[in-house]
Chains A and B, each alone.
Chain A
Amino acid sequence: MNRPLSASDLSRPGPARIGIGGPVGSGKTALIEALMPLFRKRGIEVAVVTNDLVTKEDARRLQASGLIDPERVLAVEAGACPHTVIREDPTLNIAAAEDLETRYPELDLIIIESGGDNLASTFSLDLVDWWMFVIDVGQGDDIPRKRGPGILQSDLLVLNKLDLAPHVFVDGPATLAEAEAVRAGRPVIGTVCKGPAQQGLDAVADRIERDLLFRDVPA
């Protein structure tokens, strides 16, 4: 017979794992950096696995940020094919996540940041429970129309750097609307991760807290 767990004890299944994918320079690491203070304020215990091609650049950046205990950041070198280690053979990332789970049993959330890729990258659901895909206005207003698997299949699409839209001749709201249209109702959030006028970050944190940690956050 199964025994119900106590209401506050969801530790047995382990922490939720989320993926963050997207093209090079779209702002994946910046998004993590911007979310860290929100997670801390909400009492969410976090660790991060970063993926870079042949360096540990993103891991070092997060470790030096002061936003997270450096020991809670692990680096996986993805080699020449960043989507392979998050989809076809995520063994290295699974091992890193399990290592963090063992070392920090209090974790609520493990973030797995993909190496920068193209619009085709997707995450294996054997690796993560949920994943988001980050694009930015600097890539042009036609990115949503290109309908890559990352844009269509992610659980959340983030359109980042909205503050730069006027400077790169992109209509931010129109691009957001087009992204919502191609995703047929799946969520899209526009963000600004850097500078004094951050935007959309609470909405991203709310969705993670509600859908992955099952906390009572309004939809």
Chain B
Amino acid sequence: MKSKLVANAGSFRDPANQIYEIMPKVNGGKARILRGLSGDALAIYQKLSDEIFFREALSAGHIVRTSLLPADDEDAMSIMTDGWVGVLEHEPVPFVTYPYEWTFSMLKDAALLQLHLIETSLENGWTLKDATAYNIQWIGPRPVFIDVGSFAPWKEGDPWVGYRQFCSMFLTPLMLRAHLGIDHLPLLRSYIDGIPPTEAIKYFSGTKRLKRGVLSHIIFPAKVENSIAKRERDDAPARQRTPRLQSKAMVVGLVQSLTRLVQKLSSEIEHTDWSQYDKTHSYQEADFDVKKAFVLKHTSTIQREYIWDIGCNTGTFSRISGENCSHVISVDGDHNTVEQLYLVEKKNPDSNILPLVMNLANISPGQGWAGFERQAFDQRRRPDLVLCLALIHHVRMSANIPNLLFLKWLSSLQAEVILEFVNREDEMVVKLLTNKKEQYIDYNLEQFTAEAERFFTIIDREPLKGGKREIFYLKPR
């Protein structure tokens, strides 16, 4: 039986290489991530792999584990039939994510990794062809650079070609949040190639332009771009470009000044409904222990590969379920809560929790070229189990999504589910319904149970908070 070879839908911009995913021959087998290289790209990789800085970055975990496959590898041979001369194998990252799902500190750490790699590359006669944030992925809460094909030899005089992309994808969104408190995530979701300076300038008026880094990296580039666009518009002829030579001191100096700037950017965690959840939840300690024990009971029976904790808050249950699971994807719509989870988890070198910010009533869609370049959240990697604790009342009453639709979506994941239903008598539901005209009469335990049984088999259930809530362990039908 042959393995299934799929060209990655997001890997087509660089003509020198292409990513392929090799789907396992049997269920439960491991997928392989391979990169076809052109003749030139292969020669560059062979030179790069001898460089000490590159090997150090690999062993430090800054670059995804990579090896050159022998020409007799069965999967490599099938890729080479597409015209590639060499094939690299990369260690697959647990779960592909995009910058519009990262918190401020995640984007900041990703930016610092990108800058660290470009600086060490330049110091050793190499550069990176681009500076897109999509080249950074995560292993737990640790960023890792995945685009080995981006390394290219650098000679004195060459500018840093990734500067504009770095500013659009990393620096500008970071400055928008740090300086103005603007949520950078919806902007990054829309501008999938980064926020251009000509748009970013509109957010900075008056004295806001004096904030750190704004004049140099937003106002000045925007003025230059606007002035060029103005001069070249309509039928004005294109003018000849004369490349300006840039010394090593200029290029490395710029990278270092950006590193200092990014390091100084900060965003305070504000107190929200969720950011203090571990202290302010509505449970008595004994009740909370019952809920923890239920989750532990059903997550510790077998070792699972992927658990999603949707509506994770500060990650109490992500940690419990992560003890018997390879990877936990913890998602919440509240930026500050996820930020707090990330800041705690990044201190733990063994953490297997990847925190993500996402409104669960509006998950990341498939977008980019032909709608496939960036995958929808629920189309990436199927979870084995989904934790969905005290979320459903928000889905129903805040987002106005009927329980049936939510359960249908959950069942489409073909995963086991641990779901906590918050009943009408619970004080949190009472709070939600206060001042609401629509009272969601269909929202009750009996109806929910009946609807859940259409898609799932109830394996176990337990009342919580004296019957105000009920926790279920469900298996898909």
The answer to whether A and B belong to the same complex is no
Could you list which residues of chain B lie within 8 angstroms of chain A, going by C-beta atoms?
Answer: none
Seen from chain A, the residues whose Cβ lies within 8 Å of a Cβ on chain B are none
